[in-house]
Structure 1
Amino acid sequence: MKRLYIFITILAFTAVSCKKSFIDLSPQDQISGANLYKTEPLLRQALIGAYTPLRDLMVNDFYTGEMRSDNTHYEFYQVDRGTAYVQRENIADFTDDPTNAYTNAVYFHCYNGITRANLVLENMGQAPLSDTAANDIAGQAEFIRAFNYFKLVRYFGGVPLFLKSIRKADDAFLPRSTADEVYAQIIKDAQDAVAKLSDPVFAANKQGGQATKGAATMLLAEVYMTQKKYAEAATLLTSLDAMGYDLLTDYAAVFSPANKNSRESIFEVQYLEGLQGNQFSDFIYRFLPRSLDTKIITGVKSNNRTIGGWNTPTQDMIATYEPDDKRLDASIGIAEGAYDASFQFTFSANKSVLNYTPAAGKVGVPYIKKYLHTHANPLNTDDNWPIYRYADALLMLAEALNEQGNGGAALASLNRVRARAFGDGAHNITTTAQAVLRDIIAHERRVELAFENHRWHDLVRTGKAIEVMNADGIRLKQIYPYLSPASYQVNANKLLFPIPQSERDLNPALAQNPGYPQ
């Protein structure tokens, strides 16, 4: 710390001692920090940069948001017990600690997005902007900041609130704010975003990938649901219908790259297939068994040996779908084949999960089918990651209405989602008993939003995480002998991840969450 202050002092002395002509850190023919925000196009370019960390976040969020739940597990890779494998397994097994690189990555990616949003917000005054442009840019930046803080507070509890860029050393070492203080800032930013942003504009059934009033409305509604402010959430969720959102007719089509940013999409993280810019996704390769050649499944000869084997649907997840629910076959497939002595999988067939029975001498491994689509290059896909969908909004509205004792009104939204899932109204729910309907809605959210990183948050939000995950651990330990006695010992402390130890080493003001090494 002392060395840092000395460096800053020398830098400041140098800056005031040198003539302006001696060194110019703001070249006029290039985009630099000094002129990045001078025009609206450059300011919007900086705003795009604030979205970019969401791509990195989604590559880690399924470990913490889906594998931490009863929806998915992992393929145990017994020939390699290196840190990269063990730490990801530890998240699913509830044996992670403050040095876990993958929970820590979520923390850092969120703050990266927050930092970039802060820079946009505090430098907007440098550019001549119309009121419309200023509201749009500020609203998007506030949405990004609120979204990232919402991730942080749900995963880590109270965290430092950085609302401006760091200009001196002391700015970098803030203590943790309380969770209530973080939520207050999230609500402020989300409310501002709702007020400033415009409704989505649909052209040929599609919209752009940026945040709109709809995205900010959905974010704020989920915050209110987390705080059990059901009336406020219901008001917001009801307003989405008038913005033009709707369900697509076919559930599987929702996830097709051909339908990116459709009428059902409220917000999704944007990826772009191609060999330039590192903007592509590769989720299907991460979710398939490790193999030297995935072509039978992906259509492209490729090796996913180092990245595959994660987020594997559990048998409990498969069994929770009702008969005739079309979402099962659209969401989960079966990779059939055999393992070699090195525990690499050789694919022999791509099978439907419906009534599946393994061929003689073969095993069937379930995988997430939602993100399997045609692509040209190995490990390089065009799939976006869905954050908020209109189906999510409808089910959240049903929950909010039911929690207010209005089960009759809740049925309309609930059955609208189920009608698409079953292709008719014959599977409509009719009960209005609050406790029964509460469980039905929770089940509906599990299958409708499967593998979209909602399940863990839903379990925590509804107070079911400890009960459900301890029961899941009992089931899994009966199947997998590699699980240690220490795994799946879920208590209130495990509802939060630990603050990264590397951050606490730099900033002693950061207290650790209970239940982790202090």
Structure 2
Amino acid sequence: MTFKIKNLIKTASLFSLAALSISCSEDFLTEVPYGEVSPSEITKAENVERAIVSAYSVLNGQIDGASNAYNSPASNWSFGDVVSDDSYKGGGGTGDQNNIHQMEIFNTTATTFDIKRKWMALYEGVKRSNEAMKLLNNSVEFDATLKAQRTAELHFLRGHYYFELKKTYNQIPYIDETAETAEDYAKSNVEFTSEQLWDKIEKDFELAISGLPETQSELGRPTKAAAKAYLAKTALFQNDWQKVYDLTSEVMGGSYALLPDFQNVFLPENDNSEEIVFAVQYSVLDGQPSNYNGSIGDRLTAPGGPFYSQYGFHRPSQNLVNAYKVSEAGLPAESNVNLTAEDKVDPRLDITIARPGVPYKDLGVNYEENWARDLSTYGEFSPKKRIVSAKSPFHTLVWPYVNAMNYYVIRYAEVILWRAEAAVELGKLEEARTLVNQIRERAKNSTYVKTLDGSADAGQYTISTYETAWTNAETARAAVRTETRLELAMEGHRFFNLVRWGVADKVINDYLAVEKTRRTHLTNANFVQGKNEYFPIPQEYLDNTKDKEVVQNANY
């Protein structure tokens, strides 16, 4: 039986044509020949479509048969959460995936495996997008109307890959569809300024907007509104608040909406719901060897215990758990004193994080601390929000233990929070309060986690909206940022938000000062301002481009 047939484009068929000159080997600078496909065959419509599918297929971070997309995860669980105050690496101690441990303590170097792997996966996406654009442009038999739409899709995909590269590595080489050889991909990373790079990324999304339809018959392909949302996100990362405000106005005037129940957002059967603006599409049991179309980048994050594989990575931090405490009024308590059973908490806590004594999904048992691998190092908490029930047909019980829940690149709740940020910066404080209250009202009205017998709530759940008018921008800004953390926790966004807010140094080092007293594996951790906001350019790229002007990021 195949699950997730609703997933667009079956990446299992990503390339039956001998690689079509598009797929790279372990080093993306390696030129790959056409193989068995002649130039006259490669521009046939069906083959061009395969090339376009191949550009989609690396969205999940899987670029070869090594099953280690967890070193280049689409979800950014290591790049966006483990290096923030939201989670620890987890696993079997600091030596298990020690490369990610080094990232966690900010001892990342240009030779750290994940740094190279993520770079390769994203540039593979760039290359496949570029090559598909060229094939599409050269195809005389491709339907003209559909060609315009597919070109727009490829601009969207390339914009996505470059956006991920820019927020991760900052000063990056830019290669477009005019590239012909491997040498064309060995370019300087200072050819363009940071502002010019953002302009190029924005241009891809603008072209996507102009060519994409309002709706897509195949789920997983981007729409015009999705491109507008992504363009808003690029503006967000540049603090272009009026542009964020205007674009989110257009997106919010469309067909997107918050699902009524927060828990339901993270069920695989709902992962192309009206809340999802754009997602990486996953499927399992679809004929692809080793279920590589599933959540291969997240396969180490299952919580262990009697139902799941004992990998135990991506473990929520004590700091994040404490962040869900609320005051008597039901608002964020902003307390980093360890949570107790008597504390009132935001109901999203037990949907996002597994706590001992609280039921886990629909499995009919309480999560217990002995589920957690290496309890003494990483504590008793485990991920929950993006873990699929072991009873679900969308979860596989055999290696590599993946599931078919999509990764949400952008969901509508984010768009609301982006607009709230822009509203604060534009002096529209009351509008910002109303927007944040939409998010909190949804959480308030969602189904709460119950005890095993269903007779009571599993925690002291209390949540209220902000009833007092916001008249101070600093207070409003802090409230929006707190809500962003609570709503999006464990979704791979936290570190990148801290960096763009310009507070990464203070927040992370304040976090470490306390967390080191709780978790000895963080003893040597230290965030260096002016360095650790971005990851280093991979050493292998520096070595392979010695005749180019390639500059390492500051202080590496």
Q: CA deviation at 1:190?
A: 0.8
Picking from 422, 442, 462, the partner of 2:481 is 442
CA distance in structure 1 between the partners assigned to 2:483 and 2:170 by the alignment: 27
Amino acid at match of 2:509: N
Q: 1:48 to 1:336 in 2, by over 3 A?
A: farther
Amino acid at match of 2:125: G
**Does the alignment pair 1:50 with 2:64?**
no
Q: Residue 92 of structure 2 aligns to a residue in which SS?
A: coil
Q: 1:168 to 1:241 in 2, by over 3 A?
A: closer
Map of 1:372 onto structure 2: 388
CA distance in structure 2 between the partners assigned to 1:383 and 1:444 by the alignment: 24
User: In the alignment, is the contact (CA less than 8 A) between 1:335 and 1:367 conserved in 2?
Assistant: no
**Does the alignment pair 1:146 with 2:159?**
yes
Q: Residue 511 of structure 1 aligns to a residue in which SS?
A: coil
Structure number with higher relative contact order (C-alpha < 8 Å, ≥ 6 residues apart): 2
Amino acid at match of 2:207: D
User: In the alignment, is the contact (CA less than 8 A) between 2:266 and 2:385 conserved in 1?
Assistant: no
User: In the alignment, is the contact (CA less than 8 A) between 2:88 and 2:104 conserved in 1?
Assistant: yes
User: In the alignment, is the contact (CA less than 8 A) between 2:58 and 2:124 conserved in 1?
Assistant: yes
Q: CA deviation at 1:135?
A: 2.3
Picking from 421, 424, 433, the partner of 2:443 is 421
Q: Residue 104 of structure 2 aligns to a residue in which SS?
A: helix
Q: 1:32 to 1:389 in 2, by over 3 A?
A: farther
User: In the alignment, is the contact (CA less than 8 A) between 1:274 and 1:380 conserved in 2?
Assistant: no
User: In the alignment, is the contact (CA less than 8 A) between 1:146 and 1:189 conserved in 2?
Assistant: yes
Amino acid at match of 2:84: S
1:294-443 matches, within 5 Å, as 294=305, 296-298=306-308, 303-304=309-310, 308-321=311-324, 322=326, 323=344, 325-334=346-355, 350-351=366-367, 364-373=380-389, 374=392, 375-378=395-398, 379-423=401-445, 426-432=464-470, 433-443=472-482
* TM-score normalised per structure 1: 0.81
**Does the alignment pair 1:514 with 2:517?**
no
CA distance in structure 1 between the partners assigned to 2:475 and 2:321 by the alignment: 22
User: In the alignment, is the contact (CA less than 8 A) between 1:104 and 1:500 conserved in 2?
Assistant: yes
Q: 1:76 to 1:335 in 2, by over 3 A?
A: same
Q: CA deviation at 1:166?
A: 4.2
Q: Residue 70 of structure 1 aligns to a residue in which SS?
A: coil
**Does the alignment pair 1:476 with 2:515?**
yes
Q: 1:86 to 1:58 in 2, by over 3 A?
A: closer
CA distance in structure 2 between the partners assigned to 1:494 and 1:513 by the alignment: 10
CA distance in structure 1 between the partners assigned to 2:107 and 2:249 by the alignment: 40
Q: CA deviation at 1:44?
A: 2.5
Amino acid at match of 2:353: I
User: In the alignment, is the contact (CA less than 8 A) between 2:512 and 2:522 conserved in 1?
Assistant: no
User: In the alignment, is the contact (CA less than 8 A) between 2:75 and 2:298 conserved in 1?
Assistant: no
Higher fraction of helix: 1
Q: CA deviation at 1:37?
A: 2.9
User: In the alignment, is the contact (CA less than 8 A) between 1:142 and 1:192 conserved in 2?
Assistant: yes
CA distance in structure 2 between the partners assigned to 1:348 and 1:515 by the alignment: 51
Q: CA deviation at 1:482?
A: 3.4
Picking from 245, 259, 270, the partner of 1:259 is 270
The alignment yields a C-alpha RMSD, in angstroms, of 2.7
Q: Which whole-Å deviations, capped at 9, do the CAs of 1:458-513 have from their partners, x for residues lacking one? A: 1111111111011111122112223343x223311111110000111111232111
Q: CA deviation at 1:65?
A: 1.1
Q: CA deviation at 1:415?
A: 1.3
CA distance in structure 1 between the partners assigned to 2:492 and 2:357 by the alignment: 26
Q: Which runs of 5+ in 2 are unaligned?
A: 1-33, 62-71, 327-343, 370-378, 447-462
Q: Residue 482 of structure 1 aligns to a residue in which SS?
A: helix
User: In the alignment, is the contact (CA less than 8 A) between 2:260 and 2:445 conserved in 1?
Assistant: no
Q: Which runs of 5+ in 1 are unaligned?
A: 1-24, 338-346, 354-362
Q: Residue 380 of structure 2 aligns to a residue in which SS?
A: strand
How many residues are paired up? 452
Q: CA deviation at 1:376?
A: 4.4
Picking from 237, 246, 254, the partner of 1:226 is 237
Deviates more, 1:88-97 or 1:234-243: 234-243
CA distance in structure 1 between the partners assigned to 2:422 and 2:357 by the alignment: 42
User: In the alignment, is the contact (CA less than 8 A) between 1:53 and 1:112 conserved in 2?
Assistant: yes
**Does the alignment pair 1:38 with 2:37?**
no
User: In the alignment, is the contact (CA less than 8 A) between 2:312 and 2:382 conserved in 1?
Assistant: no
Picking from 530, 538, 547, the partner of 1:492 is 530
Q: 1:479 to 1:166 in 2, by over 3 A?
A: same
Q: Residue 540 of structure 2 aligns to a residue in which SS?
A: helix
User: In the alignment, is the contact (CA less than 8 A) between 1:58 and 1:385 conserved in 2?
Assistant: no
Q: 1:481 to 1:129 in 2, by over 3 A?
A: same
Map of 1:124 onto structure 2: 136
CA distance in structure 2 between the partners assigned to 1:336 and 1:104 by the alignment: 40
Picking from 90, 101, 119, the partner of 1:75 is 90
**Does the alignment pair 1:175 with 2:188?**
yes
Picking from 121, 127, 136, the partner of 1:115 is 127
CA distance in structure 1 between the partners assigned to 2:499 and 2:467 by the alignment: 25
Amino acid at match of 1:123: L
Picking from 503, 514, 531, the partner of 1:464 is 503
Amino acid at match of 1:66: D
User: In the alignment, is the contact (CA less than 8 A) between 2:353 and 2:384 conserved in 1?
Assistant: yes
User: In the alignment, is the contact (CA less than 8 A) between 1:331 and 1:369 conserved in 2?
Assistant: yes
Q: Residue 54 of structure 2 aligns to a residue in which SS?
A: helix
User: In the alignment, is the contact (CA less than 8 A) between 1:395 and 1:445 conserved in 2?
Assistant: yes
Deviates more, 1:395-404 or 1:317-326: 317-326
Map of 1:93 onto structure 2: 105
Q: 1:285 to 1:105 in 2, by over 3 A?
A: closer
CA distance in structure 1 between the partners assigned to 2:229 and 2:506 by the alignment: 28
Amino acid at match of 1:507: T
User: In the alignment, is the contact (CA less than 8 A) between 1:94 and 1:489 conserved in 2?
Assistant: yes
CA distance in structure 2 between the partners assigned to 1:266 and 1:444 by the alignment: 20
Q: CA deviation at 1:237?
A: 0.6
Map of 1:4 onto structure 2: none
User: In the alignment, is the contact (CA less than 8 A) between 2:351 and 2:384 conserved in 1?
Assistant: no
Q: CA deviation at 1:285?
A: 4.9
User: In the alignment, is the contact (CA less than 8 A) between 1:209 and 1:267 conserved in 2?
Assistant: yes
Q: 1:196 to 1:328 in 2, by over 3 A?
A: same
User: In the alignment, is the contact (CA less than 8 A) between 2:317 and 2:381 conserved in 1?
Assistant: no
CA distance in structure 1 between the partners assigned to 2:286 and 2:209 by the alignment: 36
CA distance in structure 2 between the partners assigned to 1:312 and 1:183 by the alignment: 33
Map of 2:279 onto structure 1: 268
Q: 1:151 to 1:284 in 2, by over 3 A?
A: closer
